[in-house]
Amino acid sequence: MSTIDVTVPVAGSPAAGIVRTKHRLGERLVILSLAASAGLSIAVTVGIVASLVQPSVSFFREVRLGEFLLGTTWAPLFTPPSFGVVPIVVGSLLITGIATLVAVPLGLGAAVYLSEYADQRVRKVVKPALELLEGIPTVVYGYFAVSFVGPYVQRWWPLGDTPGVFSALAAGLVMGIMIIPTMGSLSEDALRAVPIDLRRGGYALGARRYEVATRVTVPAALSGIVAAFVLSVSRAIGETMIVFIAAGNTPNLTFNPGEAVQTMTAFIAQAGTGDLPQGSIGYKTIFAVGSLLFVMTFVMNMLSNRVVARYREVYD
């Protein structure tokens, strides 16, 4: 029988010193890369804010803040212009709400199934298939909404006049499908991070698998699920191509999902691809809307951080 010689560095020997030096060098490289990533993130954020501030301040010197935030007519590129941002804010929230109604139950249901019910073989197939949706370009989702979902919305619309191919409902449904992987994958990671002892304790008390999943595992992973929810909503409210293609780009102040609407991101895309002279009031409007969108997502993330901090569970 052949033998294998294994050399283990002895404490205090030159070999042990070389190993310790390599470990320290590796730790320093990791720390430096993390610091560089954090610094780059902060620098990019500061750069984005700086790029928004000056044109936005110049815009609000010409347009009153109250007119911008409370006005109900949005026509900044027409003559005479109107700068009431409420219609595109409502359009953004309407489509985001529809997408959330689709993504949260389906994504959370998929997460509970993968973490509590599926065996390892099924999980290896289902989770990559779920995450595959995240890799599809959003422009493809947009044309899918127009060519496939829009006609079905027209066919099965139960209320009043038949909507057109372009509608908030078609865009919202497809956007909800797009963010299911974000909601499902992050929630599944949070559920699997719950210690197995909590589940065993539930089973020991006589609870069934459904009761353990809904009354033990989900509450214990609530902070992670809330973080997944906020990230999904943030992605939905910042999505551009789906709403630009499928929502209709019409700034209607309506809560009817069967009508065409315009979102903040769709307006930015529409105006940004036009021939607006720099320094004009129409050009500055892009930055004013971008600033409002930034503030909305910032406030939403701040609220989510408070919720996560309140319900965070720390396990040994």
Q: Write down the pLDDT at residue 12.
A: 55
Return the structure tokens found at 282.
């129409």
**Residue at 35: amino acid letter:** A
Q: Write down the pLDDT at residue 172.
A: 94
pTM over 0.75: yes
Range 139-160 average pLDDT = 86
Domain coordinates in residue numbering, the chain: 14-62, 67-311
Pairwise CA distance, residues 81 & 299, whole Å: 29
Proportion of the chain in helix, strand, coil states, percent, rounded to 5: 75, 0, 25
Pairwise CA distance, residues 141 & 147, whole Å: 10
Task: Classify 249 as helix, strand or coil.
Answer: coil
Pairwise CA distance, residues 146 & 140, whole Å: 10
Contact by Cβ (8 Å): 281, 55: no
Query: Within 13 Å and on the Cβ side, how many CA atoms surround 241?
Result: 10
Confidence check: pLDDT of 238 > 60: yes
Cis ω for the linkage preceding 277 (within 30 of 0) = no
H or E stretch at 82: strand 82-83
Return the structure tokens found at 118.
């599926």
pLDDT band of 50, cuts 50, 70, 90 = confident
Pairwise CA distance, residues 92 & 116, whole Å: 35
Q: Write down the pLDDT at residue 6.
A: 46
Q: Is 64 left (phi over 0), alpha (psi -120 to 50) or beta?
A: beta
CB within 8 A of 177, min separation 6: which ones?
A: 102, 103, 133, 141
Pairwise CA distance, residues 12 & 180, whole Å: 55
CATH of domain 67-311: 1.10.3720.10
Pairwise CA distance, residues 196 & 307, whole Å: 24
pLDDT above 70 covers what percent of the chain? Answer: 91
Confidence check: pLDDT of 105 > 50: yes
Question: What residues does 82 pair with on adjacent strands?
Answer: 75
Q: How far is CA 15 from CA 5, 27, 300, in A?
A: 16, 19, 53
Confidence check: pLDDT of 305 > 90: no
CB within 8 A of 284, min separation 6: which ones?
A: 55, 56, 58, 59, 62
42 vs 105: which has the higher pLDDT: 105
Q: Is 206 left (phi over 0), alpha (psi -120 to 50) or beta?
A: left
Task: Classify 248 as helix, strand or coil.
Answer: strand
Least Cα distance to 180 among 91, 99, 92 occurs for 99
Return the structure tokens found at 114.
């993968």
How much is the CA Rg of the chain, to the nearest whole Å?
25
pLDDT band of 33, cuts 50, 70, 90 = confident
Contact by Cβ (8 Å): 254, 261: yes
Confidence check: pLDDT of 165 > 70: yes
